[in-house]
Amino acid sequence: MTFDQFISARLAALLRYATAVTGDPHLAQDVVQDCLVRVQARWERIAAIDQPEAYVKRMVLNEYLSVRRRLTRRAVPMPDDAIERATGQVDDPARHVAARDALVALIAALPPRQRAVLALRYYEGRSDAEIAQLLGCREATVRSHAARALAALRKPDTLSVLNGG
Amino acid sequence: MTIDDEIGDAFVRLADRAPDPIRVRAGLGRAAQMHRQRRALLAAGGLVVAGGLAGGGVLAARLVLGGTDFGPDVPTPGNLPTPAAAPPAPGNSVVPMRYRPTWLPDGFVELGRSTTVAAGLDQLRQRRAWYPVGTTLDPLKETPPSIYLDLVPATWWGIADWRTPVRVNGARGGLGPSGSTPVLLWEAGGGLNLAVSVNGGEDNRATALAIGRSVVPDGVSTVEVALSFGWLPALPGALVRYETGPDRTRLEVIVGQFGVITFDIDGQEDPGVDYQTEPVTVRGASGRWFRNGTAVMLWLTLPDGRPLVGVLDRVPARGVTLTDDDVLHIVSDLSIGPRPANTWIGSR
């Protein structure tokens, strides 16, 4: 597979993954683009790996969580309209929709590592052991990040509404 | 639906906001070219500067200070020359850089400067970047060796986020996180913070601190760009940003942290072969452009032969949509001056 074939087949999926992990489409674009420049320069070596896409996804994750990236790009993940919907007074049917949007907004507003852990668990379907390996930390740390993130998501106007509360 | 299902569903909806792959692929071509040019310049600059400093010998960039003994707040003795004022070319835009280090590890040369054109200090963001001379960047390294000096609003990065309290030039600061990419942050006054980040090496916190304690006000060094905007639509919350380096000069509009209208001049960029571009004539120059619902990309060769590349978001700010006519209006009204000399590139 050539680099162009890889990009043609997997770029959209990579961008979706990066958007889920970063919570921000602009940042996802920036991170994916930076990683693919490096991938392109070493494509022959990377293509020889069993799962090049997994390798690239790991690069995306590392790039996003690097301090250099955080200093360069301050994430402003929560769109104004989502905040307005999350805090606005709306009718019951709309309230459910608003709560769903609010949940997305809350996920986007999580600290980077917490959101990354949830994205890997719920979007990628990774186990805690796999997430620990990807993040270079212990499983207990993964569980701690996940617990904190889930606690942050349990706000009265979001999950309680989704549960019919 | 369970809570787990709801969260999974939310991530899918978040992923649905992913950017258009076409636009990303266009940017990839530009970024790859910039990367290759930077590598070429680093190799070439290495020959010139290493020859000047070390009699032709190989000069390895070293981050010499390590450990955790950060010492008293004493200014670091300088090892860099004082910058000389360089008058800009007629018609070019110039913004002074507010700070400079007087000490850097051996072998690092300056390759990039950027600044916002801010009406108030609270919107000022400046960066200077140094890389090792004679070193080819490894594309697979997450953090290639580099040193950044940033000036950012204090609301952006708070001292409280940093782990180890330190004093820097009499000001309150913090150092951290420990590890391979230390960042030193300290108060610059006026609602601004200064930051030094040292990427590469095992533990360069002491290096970051030594650089930080050598930083002094500048005002002589500048960012000079050959481009400035004439007409722009009203863009709430937008800032103009200049960036210059070895590969090109950039003029862009940023909203939040991200460029939404970007023009590069003096690079070497051609339309990507994958795009269905159409011919366009603007400013008396023939070129190509690609248009879809999310972005417009435009490649022009100016009458004097210089390349101009534009990438414009269709919706650069909330409630603003750029039509094709708007894009042409922006390009037509760009003010274009001569290529800056930028003699500082590749020097200490």
Q: What is the DSSP string of A10-74?
A: HHHHHHHHHHHHHS-HHHHHHHHHHHHHHHHHTHHHHHTSS-HHHHHHHHHHHHHHSHHHHHH--
Q: What is the pLDDT of residues B67-111, one digit of tens each?
A: 445 678 888 888 999 988 888 999 898 999 999 999 999 889 998
Segments of chain B scoring below 50 in pLDDT: 37-68, 136-143, 178-180, 272-274
Q: What is the pLDDT of residues A36-87, one digit of tens each?
A: 888 887 888 888 887 888 889 988 998 888 644 544 443 332 222 222 232 2
> B27 to chain A, minimum CA–CA distance in Å?
7
Dihedral angle of Cα B43, B225, B211, B60, to the nearest 10 degrees: 10
- Helix, coil or strand: residue B311: strand
**Phi, psi for A102 (deg, rounded to 5):** -65, -35
**The predicted structure's pLDDT at residue B32:** 60
**The predicted structure's pLDDT at residue B318:** 76
**In chain A, what residues touch B157 (CB-CB under 8 Å)?**
71
Q: Mutual orientation of helices A92-108 and B3-15 as an angle, nearest 10°?
A: 70
**What's the token pair of residue B214?**
């050598």
Looking at this protein, which amino acid is placed at residue B148? Y
Nearest beta carbon to residue A7 from set B9, B25, B181: B25
Residue of A68, A96, A100, A121 best to disrupt the B interface, most CBs of B under 10 A: A68
Q: Chain-wide mean pLDDT for chain A?
A: 74
Do A33 and B1 count as a contact with CB atoms less than 8 A apart? no
Nearest beta carbon to residue A122 from set B4, B148, B179: B4
**Count of CB atoms within 10 A of residue B267's CB?**
18
ipTM: 0.80
